[in-house]
Amino acid sequence: MLKRLFSLFPSRSGTARPQKKRVVPRDQHSISRANISRGALSAMKRLHAEGYEAYLVGGGVRDLLLGGDPKDFDIATSATPEQVRHLFRGARIIGRRFKIVHVRMGRELLEVTTFRDSHTESESERDSHQADSGMLLRDNVFGTLETDSARRDFTINALYYTSNDFTIHDYEGGLEDLEKRQIRMIGDPETRYKEDPVRMLRAVRFAAKLGFNIEKDTAAPIAKNAELLSQVSSSRLFDESLKLFMAGSATATFALLRDYNLLPHLFAQTDAILQSGDPVAEKLIEHALVNTDKRIRNEQRVTPAFIYAALLWPAVAKLQDSLMREQQLTAPMALNQAASAVVSQQLAAIAIPKRFLIPMREIWDLQLRLPNRNGKRAFAVASHPRFRAAYDFLLLRESAGEDFEGLGQWWTDFQATDEQGREAMVKKLGGNRQRATRRRPRKKSPNPQA
Protein backbone atom coordinates (compact mmCIF):
# COMPACT_ATOMS: atom_id res chain seq x y z
CA MET A 1 0.00 0.00 0.00
CA LEU A 2 2.79 2.43 0.90
CA LYS A 3 4.68 1.65 -2.30
CA ARG A 4 1.57 2.46 -4.32
CA LEU A 5 1.14 5.70 -2.40
CA PHE A 6 4.76 6.79 -2.69
CA SER A 7 4.97 5.99 -6.39
CA LEU A 8 2.52 8.81 -7.04
CA PHE A 9 5.16 11.39 -6.23
CA PRO A 10 8.43 12.33 -7.96
CA SER A 11 11.71 12.27 -6.07
CA ARG A 12 13.13 15.40 -4.46
CA SER A 13 16.23 16.33 -2.55
CA GLY A 14 17.27 19.11 -0.19
CA THR A 15 15.11 21.05 2.25
CA ALA A 16 13.10 23.21 -0.19
CA ARG A 17 9.32 23.00 0.05
CA PRO A 18 7.44 21.09 -2.67
CA GLN A 19 5.71 23.23 -5.25
CA LYS A 20 2.15 22.21 -4.51
CA LYS A 21 -0.10 20.53 -2.02
CA ARG A 22 -0.61 16.79 -2.31
CA VAL A 23 -3.99 15.36 -1.39
CA VAL A 24 -4.13 11.58 -1.21
CA PRO A 25 -7.63 10.06 -1.47
CA ARG A 26 -8.81 7.20 0.75
CA ASP A 27 -8.28 4.48 -1.85
CA GLN A 28 -4.60 5.41 -2.18
CA HIS A 29 -3.47 5.25 1.46
CA SER A 30 -3.55 2.70 4.25
CA ILE A 31 -5.07 4.67 7.15
CA SER A 32 -8.33 3.23 8.43
CA ARG A 33 -10.70 4.74 10.98
CA ALA A 34 -10.63 1.37 12.73
CA ASN A 35 -7.07 2.20 13.85
CA ILE A 36 -7.92 5.67 15.14
CA SER A 37 -9.15 6.17 18.69
CA ARG A 38 -12.83 6.81 19.27
CA GLY A 39 -12.01 10.00 21.15
CA ALA A 40 -10.01 11.48 18.28
CA LEU A 41 -12.74 10.66 15.77
CA SER A 42 -15.42 12.16 18.03
CA ALA A 43 -13.43 15.35 18.58
CA MET A 44 -12.89 15.85 14.84
CA LYS A 45 -16.57 15.18 14.19
CA ARG A 46 -17.58 17.82 16.75
CA LEU A 47 -15.23 20.40 15.26
CA HIS A 48 -16.46 19.65 11.73
CA ALA A 49 -20.08 19.98 12.88
CA GLU A 50 -19.33 23.47 14.21
CA GLY A 51 -17.85 24.51 10.86
CA TYR A 52 -14.16 24.22 11.75
CA GLU A 53 -11.43 22.35 9.90
CA ALA A 54 -9.93 19.50 11.92
CA TYR A 55 -7.13 17.06 11.10
CA LEU A 56 -5.12 14.38 12.82
CA VAL A 57 -1.50 15.47 12.61
CA GLY A 58 1.95 14.44 13.74
CA GLY A 59 3.16 11.14 15.11
CA GLY A 60 -0.23 9.47 15.00
CA VAL A 61 -0.55 9.89 11.22
CA ARG A 62 3.12 9.04 10.67
CA ASP A 63 2.94 5.85 12.72
CA LEU A 64 -0.31 4.71 11.10
CA LEU A 65 1.31 5.01 7.68
CA LEU A 66 4.29 3.01 8.94
CA GLY A 67 1.97 0.24 10.10
CA GLY A 68 2.15 1.10 13.79
CA ASP A 69 -0.54 1.21 16.44
CA PRO A 70 -0.35 4.71 17.96
CA LYS A 71 -2.13 5.33 21.25
CA ASP A 72 -1.92 9.12 21.24
CA PHE A 73 -3.46 11.40 18.63
CA ASP A 74 -3.07 15.15 18.14
CA ILE A 75 -5.55 17.35 16.32
CA ALA A 76 -4.90 20.58 14.41
CA THR A 77 -7.86 22.84 13.78
CA SER A 78 -8.93 26.23 12.46
CA ALA A 79 -10.72 26.88 15.76
CA THR A 80 -8.90 29.15 18.21
CA PRO A 81 -7.96 27.84 21.67
CA GLU A 82 -10.89 29.70 23.23
CA GLN A 83 -13.31 28.30 20.66
CA VAL A 84 -12.03 24.78 21.30
CA ARG A 85 -12.33 25.26 25.06
CA HIS A 86 -15.96 26.31 24.75
CA LEU A 87 -16.79 23.32 22.54
CA PHE A 88 -15.58 20.61 24.92
CA ARG A 89 -16.57 20.27 28.55
CA GLY A 90 -13.59 20.32 30.88
CA ALA A 91 -11.14 21.41 28.18
CA ARG A 92 -8.09 23.32 29.47
CA ILE A 93 -5.78 25.76 27.71
CA ILE A 94 -2.17 25.19 28.70
CA GLY A 95 1.17 26.65 27.66
CA ARG A 96 2.48 30.14 27.16
CA ARG A 97 5.12 29.59 24.49
CA PHE A 98 2.53 27.82 22.35
CA LYS A 99 -1.06 27.40 23.52
CA ILE A 100 -2.48 23.88 23.48
CA VAL A 101 -5.95 22.75 24.50
CA HIS A 102 -6.22 19.53 26.47
CA VAL A 103 -9.52 17.86 25.61
CA ARG A 104 -10.61 14.81 27.56
CA MET A 105 -12.78 12.30 25.72
CA GLY A 106 -13.61 9.58 28.22
CA ARG A 107 -10.27 8.27 29.45
CA GLU A 108 -8.44 9.68 26.46
CA LEU A 109 -6.57 12.98 26.61
CA LEU A 110 -6.23 14.77 23.26
CA GLU A 111 -3.97 17.70 22.41
CA VAL A 112 -5.75 20.16 20.14
CA THR A 113 -3.82 23.02 18.56
CA THR A 114 -4.85 25.91 16.36
CA PHE A 115 -3.23 26.26 12.93
CA ARG A 116 -0.10 28.39 13.32
CA ASP A 117 1.00 31.11 10.92
CA SER A 118 4.45 31.77 9.53
CA HIS A 119 6.41 34.68 11.01
CA THR A 120 6.19 38.00 9.20
CA GLU A 121 7.05 41.59 9.98
CA SER A 122 3.39 42.37 10.57
CA GLU A 123 3.07 39.92 13.45
CA SER A 124 2.08 41.29 16.82
CA GLU A 125 4.83 41.33 19.44
CA ARG A 126 2.16 40.18 21.87
CA ASP A 127 1.55 36.96 19.94
CA SER A 128 5.02 36.03 18.76
CA HIS A 129 8.38 36.85 20.29
CA GLN A 130 11.94 35.69 19.66
CA ALA A 131 15.04 36.08 21.78
CA ASP A 132 18.14 37.69 20.31
CA SER A 133 19.57 34.19 19.78
CA GLY A 134 16.65 33.36 17.49
CA MET A 135 14.88 31.13 20.01
CA LEU A 136 11.10 31.39 19.86
CA LEU A 137 9.74 32.47 23.24
CA ARG A 138 6.12 32.64 22.09
CA ASP A 139 4.47 31.27 18.96
CA ASN A 140 0.75 32.02 19.08
CA VAL A 141 0.11 33.59 15.67
CA PHE A 142 -2.74 31.65 14.09
CA GLY A 143 -3.02 30.78 10.41
CA THR A 144 -4.17 28.16 7.91
CA LEU A 145 -3.52 24.49 7.27
CA GLU A 146 -0.76 25.37 4.80
CA THR A 147 1.01 27.82 7.11
CA ASP A 148 0.65 25.39 10.00
CA SER A 149 2.38 22.75 7.92
CA ALA A 150 5.31 25.08 7.34
CA ARG A 151 5.64 25.65 11.10
CA ARG A 152 5.96 21.93 11.90
CA ASP A 153 9.44 20.63 12.63
CA PHE A 154 9.99 17.62 10.37
CA THR A 155 8.28 16.66 7.14
CA ILE A 156 7.17 13.27 8.46
CA ASN A 157 5.32 15.07 11.28
CA ALA A 158 3.52 17.43 8.86
CA LEU A 159 1.05 14.93 7.45
CA TYR A 160 -2.64 15.68 8.02
CA TYR A 161 -5.54 13.22 7.96
CA THR A 162 -9.18 14.27 8.08
CA SER A 163 -12.17 12.08 8.85
CA ASN A 164 -14.30 14.49 6.82
CA ASP A 165 -13.32 12.90 3.50
CA PHE A 166 -10.59 10.49 4.71
CA THR A 167 -7.81 12.23 2.75
CA ILE A 168 -4.17 12.84 3.66
CA HIS A 169 -2.75 16.34 3.06
CA ASP A 170 1.00 16.72 2.51
CA TYR A 171 2.55 20.14 1.84
CA GLU A 172 6.15 19.30 2.81
CA GLY A 173 7.04 16.01 1.14
CA GLY A 174 6.59 13.94 4.28
CA LEU A 175 5.27 10.94 2.38
CA GLU A 176 8.39 10.77 0.26
CA ASP A 177 10.60 11.09 3.33
CA LEU A 178 8.73 8.21 4.95
CA GLU A 179 9.61 6.14 1.90
CA LYS A 180 13.25 7.26 2.11
CA ARG A 181 13.22 6.60 5.86
CA GLN A 182 14.77 9.95 6.65
CA ILE A 183 14.27 12.80 9.11
CA ARG A 184 14.21 16.12 7.23
CA MET A 185 13.66 19.56 8.71
CA ILE A 186 11.08 21.89 7.20
CA GLY A 187 12.76 25.17 6.26
CA ASP A 188 16.35 26.13 7.03
CA PRO A 189 17.58 23.66 9.68
CA GLU A 190 19.94 26.02 11.48
CA THR A 191 17.28 28.72 11.78
CA ARG A 192 14.76 26.18 13.05
CA TYR A 193 17.22 24.85 15.64
CA LYS A 194 17.84 28.37 16.88
CA GLU A 195 14.08 28.93 17.16
CA ASP A 196 13.83 25.84 19.35
CA PRO A 197 17.02 23.93 20.26
CA VAL A 198 14.95 20.96 21.47
CA ARG A 199 14.40 20.15 17.79
CA MET A 200 17.94 18.76 17.75
CA LEU A 201 16.93 16.26 20.42
CA ARG A 202 13.75 15.46 18.54
CA ALA A 203 15.69 14.75 15.35
CA VAL A 204 17.86 12.27 17.22
CA ARG A 205 14.91 10.72 19.04
CA PHE A 206 12.86 10.14 15.90
CA ALA A 207 15.87 8.75 14.04
CA ALA A 208 16.51 6.27 16.85
CA LYS A 209 12.87 5.38 17.39
CA LEU A 210 12.02 4.84 13.73
CA GLY A 211 15.38 3.53 12.56
CA PHE A 212 15.62 6.45 10.10
CA ASN A 213 18.62 8.47 8.94
CA ILE A 214 18.84 12.20 9.56
CA GLU A 215 18.95 13.93 6.16
CA LYS A 216 22.38 15.53 5.58
CA ASP A 217 21.27 19.18 5.57
CA THR A 218 19.20 18.54 8.69
CA ALA A 219 22.09 16.79 10.43
CA ALA A 220 24.89 19.21 9.47
CA PRO A 221 24.15 22.08 11.93
CA ILE A 222 23.41 19.93 14.99
CA ALA A 223 26.86 19.46 16.51
CA LYS A 224 27.91 23.10 16.15
CA ASN A 225 24.62 24.34 17.62
CA ALA A 226 24.44 21.80 20.46
CA GLU A 227 25.37 24.46 23.02
CA LEU A 228 22.02 26.15 22.32
CA LEU A 229 20.50 23.54 24.63
CA SER A 230 21.79 25.66 27.52
CA GLN A 231 19.04 28.16 26.64
CA VAL A 232 16.32 25.55 27.26
CA SER A 233 14.81 25.38 30.74
CA SER A 234 16.05 22.52 32.91
CA SER A 235 12.46 21.40 33.55
CA ARG A 236 11.75 21.12 29.83
CA LEU A 237 14.98 19.18 29.30
CA PHE A 238 13.86 16.74 31.98
CA ASP A 239 10.64 16.11 30.05
CA GLU A 240 12.63 15.65 26.86
CA SER A 241 15.08 13.29 28.56
CA LEU A 242 12.21 10.99 29.52
CA LYS A 243 11.20 10.83 25.86
CA LEU A 244 14.80 10.07 24.89
CA PHE A 245 15.24 7.15 27.27
CA MET A 246 11.75 5.82 27.99
CA ALA A 247 10.52 5.04 24.47
CA GLY A 248 12.20 1.70 23.88
CA SER A 249 15.11 3.03 21.82
CA ALA A 250 17.40 4.39 24.55
CA THR A 251 20.48 2.52 23.30
CA ALA A 252 20.29 3.94 19.79
CA THR A 253 19.33 7.37 21.12
CA PHE A 254 22.33 7.53 23.45
CA ALA A 255 24.69 6.63 20.60
CA LEU A 256 23.27 9.44 18.45
CA LEU A 257 23.50 11.93 21.32
CA ARG A 258 27.21 11.19 21.46
CA ASP A 259 27.63 11.26 17.68
CA TYR A 260 26.06 14.72 17.41
CA ASN A 261 27.83 16.25 20.44
CA LEU A 262 24.54 16.63 22.33
CA LEU A 263 25.43 14.48 25.34
CA PRO A 264 27.84 17.02 26.94
CA HIS A 265 24.99 19.53 27.10
CA LEU A 266 22.67 17.08 28.84
CA PHE A 267 25.02 14.96 30.97
CA ALA A 268 28.36 16.75 31.06
CA GLN A 269 29.84 14.62 33.86
CA THR A 270 28.80 11.38 32.20
CA ASP A 271 30.27 12.50 28.90
CA ALA A 272 33.57 13.43 30.57
CA ILE A 273 33.88 9.94 32.10
CA LEU A 274 33.12 8.29 28.76
CA GLN A 275 35.57 10.55 26.95
CA SER A 276 38.27 9.40 29.37
CA GLY A 277 37.87 5.87 28.03
CA ASP A 278 36.57 4.20 31.21
CA PRO A 279 35.54 0.70 30.00
CA VAL A 280 33.46 -0.11 33.09
CA ALA A 281 31.45 3.10 32.69
CA GLU A 282 30.91 2.34 29.00
CA LYS A 283 29.60 -1.14 29.73
CA LEU A 284 27.50 -0.12 32.71
CA ILE A 285 25.62 2.54 30.77
CA GLU A 286 25.32 0.35 27.68
CA HIS A 287 23.90 -2.56 29.68
CA ALA A 288 21.52 -0.26 31.56
CA LEU A 289 20.12 1.15 28.33
CA VAL A 290 19.85 -2.27 26.67
CA ASN A 291 17.99 -3.63 29.70
CA THR A 292 15.70 -0.60 29.73
CA ASP A 293 14.80 -1.09 26.07
CA LYS A 294 14.16 -4.78 26.70
CA ARG A 295 11.86 -4.09 29.65
CA ILE A 296 9.87 -1.54 27.65
CA ARG A 297 9.47 -3.99 24.77
CA ASN A 298 8.22 -6.58 27.26
CA GLU A 299 5.83 -4.00 28.78
CA GLN A 300 7.62 -4.18 32.14
CA ARG A 301 7.86 -1.29 34.55
CA VAL A 302 10.77 1.11 34.10
CA THR A 303 11.60 3.97 36.45
CA PRO A 304 13.59 7.05 35.44
CA ALA A 305 15.32 6.83 38.84
CA PHE A 306 17.17 3.70 37.73
CA ILE A 307 18.19 5.18 34.39
CA TYR A 308 19.52 8.33 36.05
CA ALA A 309 21.27 6.20 38.68
CA ALA A 310 23.13 4.38 35.91
CA LEU A 311 23.95 7.48 33.87
CA LEU A 312 25.39 9.39 36.84
CA TRP A 313 26.96 6.54 38.82
CA PRO A 314 30.34 6.57 37.00
CA ALA A 315 30.84 10.22 37.95
CA VAL A 316 29.72 9.54 41.53
CA ALA A 317 32.01 6.52 41.88
CA LYS A 318 35.01 8.40 40.51
CA LEU A 319 34.51 11.31 42.89
CA GLN A 320 33.90 8.93 45.80
CA ASP A 321 37.23 7.23 45.11
CA SER A 322 38.96 10.60 45.00
CA LEU A 323 37.45 11.74 48.31
CA MET A 324 38.38 8.50 50.05
CA ARG A 325 41.92 8.65 48.72
CA GLU A 326 42.65 12.36 49.13
CA GLN A 327 40.57 13.28 52.18
CA GLN A 328 40.62 9.89 53.93
CA LEU A 329 36.82 9.86 54.17
CA THR A 330 34.91 6.71 55.00
CA ALA A 331 33.02 5.08 52.14
CA PRO A 332 29.57 6.29 53.32
CA MET A 333 30.79 9.85 53.86
CA ALA A 334 32.58 9.94 50.52
CA LEU A 335 29.56 8.51 48.71
CA ASN A 336 27.24 11.05 50.29
CA GLN A 337 29.47 13.99 49.36
CA ALA A 338 30.13 12.68 45.86
CA ALA A 339 26.45 12.04 45.19
CA SER A 340 25.48 15.51 46.40
CA ALA A 341 28.12 17.19 44.24
CA VAL A 342 27.27 15.25 41.08
CA VAL A 343 23.53 15.72 41.52
CA SER A 344 23.92 19.44 42.17
CA GLN A 345 25.84 19.92 38.93
CA GLN A 346 23.39 17.75 36.98
CA LEU A 347 20.37 19.71 38.19
CA ALA A 348 21.74 22.83 36.52
CA ALA A 349 21.12 21.14 33.18
CA ILE A 350 18.19 18.81 33.85
CA ALA A 351 15.73 19.39 36.68
CA ILE A 352 15.27 15.84 37.97
CA PRO A 353 12.30 15.90 40.38
CA LYS A 354 12.69 14.74 43.98
CA ARG A 355 10.39 11.79 43.32
CA PHE A 356 13.22 10.37 41.21
CA LEU A 357 16.21 11.89 43.01
CA ILE A 358 15.36 10.26 46.33
CA PRO A 359 15.09 6.67 45.04
CA MET A 360 18.17 7.24 42.87
CA ARG A 361 20.17 8.20 45.96
CA GLU A 362 18.76 5.20 47.84
CA ILE A 363 19.89 2.85 45.07
CA TRP A 364 23.40 4.28 45.42
CA ASP A 365 23.40 4.17 49.23
CA LEU A 366 22.32 0.53 49.26
CA GLN A 367 25.41 -0.39 47.23
CA LEU A 368 27.35 0.03 50.50
CA ARG A 369 24.87 -2.02 52.54
CA LEU A 370 24.53 -4.99 50.18
CA PRO A 371 27.98 -6.45 51.08
CA ASN A 372 27.24 -6.27 54.84
CA ARG A 373 25.04 -9.31 55.44
CA ASN A 374 25.90 -10.56 58.95
CA GLY A 375 23.33 -10.90 61.70
CA LYS A 376 20.08 -9.21 60.83
CA ARG A 377 21.63 -6.88 58.25
CA ALA A 378 20.76 -9.05 55.24
CA PHE A 379 17.11 -9.24 56.33
CA ALA A 380 16.99 -5.49 56.97
CA VAL A 381 18.43 -4.70 53.54
CA ALA A 382 16.09 -7.17 51.81
CA SER A 383 13.09 -5.43 53.40
CA HIS A 384 14.13 -1.99 52.15
CA PRO A 385 11.63 -0.55 49.61
CA ARG A 386 14.48 0.07 47.16
CA PHE A 387 16.17 -3.31 47.64
CA ARG A 388 15.09 -4.81 44.33
CA ALA A 389 16.33 -1.81 42.34
CA ALA A 390 19.60 -1.78 44.31
CA TYR A 391 20.04 -5.52 43.70
CA ASP A 392 19.45 -5.04 39.97
CA PHE A 393 21.97 -2.20 40.04
CA LEU A 394 24.52 -4.48 41.72
CA LEU A 395 24.03 -7.07 38.97
CA LEU A 396 24.43 -4.30 36.42
CA ARG A 397 27.75 -3.28 37.96
CA GLU A 398 28.94 -6.88 37.94
CA SER A 399 27.97 -7.28 34.29
CA ALA A 400 30.03 -4.17 33.52
CA GLY A 401 33.16 -5.76 34.98
CA GLU A 402 33.21 -4.89 38.69
CA ASP A 403 34.21 -7.87 40.86
CA PHE A 404 32.25 -8.39 44.07
CA GLU A 405 33.32 -12.02 44.65
CA GLY A 406 29.92 -13.54 43.92
CA LEU A 407 27.87 -11.00 45.88
CA GLY A 408 25.21 -10.74 43.19
CA GLN A 409 24.72 -14.52 43.10
CA TRP A 410 24.53 -14.61 46.89
CA TRP A 411 21.64 -12.16 46.88
CA THR A 412 20.01 -14.05 44.02
CA ASP A 413 20.11 -17.25 46.08
CA PHE A 414 18.98 -15.41 49.21
CA GLN A 415 15.80 -14.27 47.48
CA ALA A 416 15.11 -17.71 46.03
CA THR A 417 15.24 -19.67 49.29
CA ASP A 418 12.90 -19.87 52.30
CA GLU A 419 13.36 -18.30 55.73
CA GLN A 420 15.30 -21.27 57.07
CA GLY A 421 17.56 -21.26 54.05
CA ARG A 422 18.24 -17.55 54.47
CA GLU A 423 19.21 -18.04 58.11
CA ALA A 424 21.61 -20.76 57.05
CA MET A 425 23.16 -18.54 54.35
CA VAL A 426 23.77 -15.74 56.84
CA LYS A 427 25.16 -18.16 59.43
CA LYS A 428 27.55 -19.59 56.85
CA LEU A 429 29.07 -16.15 56.37
CA GLY A 430 30.40 -16.32 59.92
CA GLY A 431 32.39 -13.29 60.96
CA ASN A 432 33.70 -12.51 57.46
CA ARG A 433 32.33 -9.22 56.18
CA GLN A 434 32.56 -8.82 52.44
CA ARG A 435 33.13 -5.31 51.22
CA ALA A 436 32.22 -3.79 47.90
CA THR A 437 35.01 -2.39 45.76
CA ARG A 438 35.98 1.26 46.17
CA ARG A 439 36.24 0.89 49.96
CA ARG A 440 39.10 2.30 52.05
CA PRO A 441 40.25 -0.17 54.76
CA ARG A 442 39.31 1.06 58.21
CA LYS A 443 40.78 0.22 61.61
CA LYS A 444 37.36 -0.25 63.15
CA SER A 445 34.11 -1.57 61.78
CA PRO A 446 31.31 0.76 62.84
CA ASN A 447 27.71 0.02 61.97
CA PRO A 448 27.06 0.68 58.27
CA GLN A 449 25.20 3.83 57.43
CA ALA A 450 21.96 3.73 55.49
Q: Which one of the listed residues 74, 139, 170, 293 is annotated catalytic?
A: 74
Helix (H) or strand (E) holding 76, with range, is: strand 74-77
Question: Does the annotation count 27 as an active-site position?
Answer: no
Rounded-to-integer distance, Cα 112 and Cα 83, Å: 11
**The one catalytic residue among 72, 217, 278, 392:** 72
Question: How many other CB atoms are found less than 10 A from the CB of residue 362?
Answer: 18
User: In this structure, what are the phi and psi dihedrals at residue 444, rounded to the nearest 5 degrees?
Assistant: -115, 165
CA–CA separation, 177 and 79 (whole Å): 29
Q: State how far Cα 101 lies from the chain centre.
A: 23
72 is catalytic: yes
Q: How far apart are CA 312 and CA 342, in angstroms?
A: 7
Name the active-site residue from 63, 117, 153, 293: 153
Q: Residue 158 in contact with residue 170, Cβ under 8 Å?
A: yes
Instruction: Supply the DSSP symbol for 26.
Output: G
CA distances to 74, 305, 314, 339, 444 from 389, rounded to whole Å, are 35, 9, 17, 17, 30
Cα separation, 342 vs 319, whole angstroms: 8
Backbone angles phi, psi at 50, to 5 degrees: -90, 5
Q: Give the catalytic positions in this structure.
A: 72, 74, 153
